[in-house]
Amino acid sequence: MSGCDRIKKAASLAQAGEGGHQVVPLEAVREIALPEGLTVREFEAELLQNNLVPLRYLRNIGTLGMDGQAKLLLSSAAVVGCGGLGGWIIELLARLGVGRLTLIDGDVFSESNLNRQALCTEANLGRNKAEAAAARVREINGAVEAIPYPVMMTKANAETLLEKNEKSEKKSIVFDALDNLPSRLLLLETSQALGIPMIHGAIAGWWGQVADVGDGALASLWRNKGEKGVETIVGTPGFTPSYTASMQVALGVRMLIGKKTPTGLLWLDLEGPALEKISL
């Protein structure tokens, strides 16, 4: 079946949706794509490029637009750290339809994670976080390719993990969801060396910080500052990572769809509450 014929068939199965859009249900997407040897992801992007909306993304379109949603489907992101910040980031990226997710974490869930980590449940205590994250992505959005790497990022493997996966696709963006400064500095230096934009996030107590890292200012702040920050004293309640992760994803999506991202560091104070931009 030609691309034109696929679109015609999809249009014949489309329904009227909000905002005057013609929407194609998931069952119809699968019915057309899979016998053609296309992935659901590929066909969803094809539909959007022909003014048809996969129904799952209908509530994204008014904000992101058809072109923006197609760009997300064709993007590839890495999330380094699949715990407090990473779990919420992964949940949002899957629902948004960011097409390929590389999920990196060698740690396993422990009981102390239950208060704040979206992917941690009583049933999966002891399970690797990256593998649990990939399973969650597949539950939410089967069009998204989720590739788990149940390893810690080190100097020896960092470039390999970020630069390529099995399909040799360079990442469009990387999300920092780490919990210690040496690993964060390694991620920053590796992403800069590879030319991959990085969205930084960190959390503690009532506070979070987020930045689109485009220069070396954060690196200079992190060097020689020990391993952990104030979170070892004040802890991290569940509302802080969920809010901070949402800000990281919002910045990342702006970048992926071609919108300008704010410079500097965003300081989030949920006790205030307040949001402040700090020039680096």
Residues 61-99: tens digit of each pLDDT: 999 999 999 999 999 999 999 999 999 999 999 999 999
Mean per-residue pLDDT, 205-223: 78
Average confidence score pLDDT of the chain: 92
Per-residue model confidence (pLDDT) at position 227: 67
| DSSP three-state, residue 76 | strand
- pLDDT, average across residues 182-186: 93
3 state SS of 92 = helix
For 147-155, what is the mean pLDDT? 97
How much of the chain is helix, strand and coil, in % rounded to 5? 45, 20, 35
Q: Is the pLDDT of residue 165 over 60?
A: no
Banded pLDDT at 260 (limits 50, 70, 90): confident
H or E segment to which residue 199 belongs = strand 198-204
CA–CA gap between residue 164 and residue 147 (Å, rounded): 11
> Is the pLDDT reported for residue 225 higher than 70?
no
Question: What letter would DSSP give residue 238?
Answer: T
- The fraction of the chain above a pLDDT of 90, given in percent, is 83
Q: Say what the pLDDT of residue 224 is.
A: 62
3-state secondary structure of 41: helix
- pLDDT band at residue 208, thresholds of 50, 70 and 90? very high
Q: At 10, is the pLDDT very low, low, confident or very high (cuts 50, 70, 90)? A: very high
Task: Determine if the pTM surpasses 0.85.
Answer: yes
**Could you give the CA distance from residue 82 to residue 128 in angstroms, rounded to a whole number?**
9
Lowest mean pLDDT among 67-76, 104-113, 184-193, 215-224: 215-224
User: Which range among 54-58, 65-69, 140-144, 276-280 shows the weakest confidence by mean pLDDT?
Assistant: 276-280
Q: What is the DSSP letter of 110?
A: -
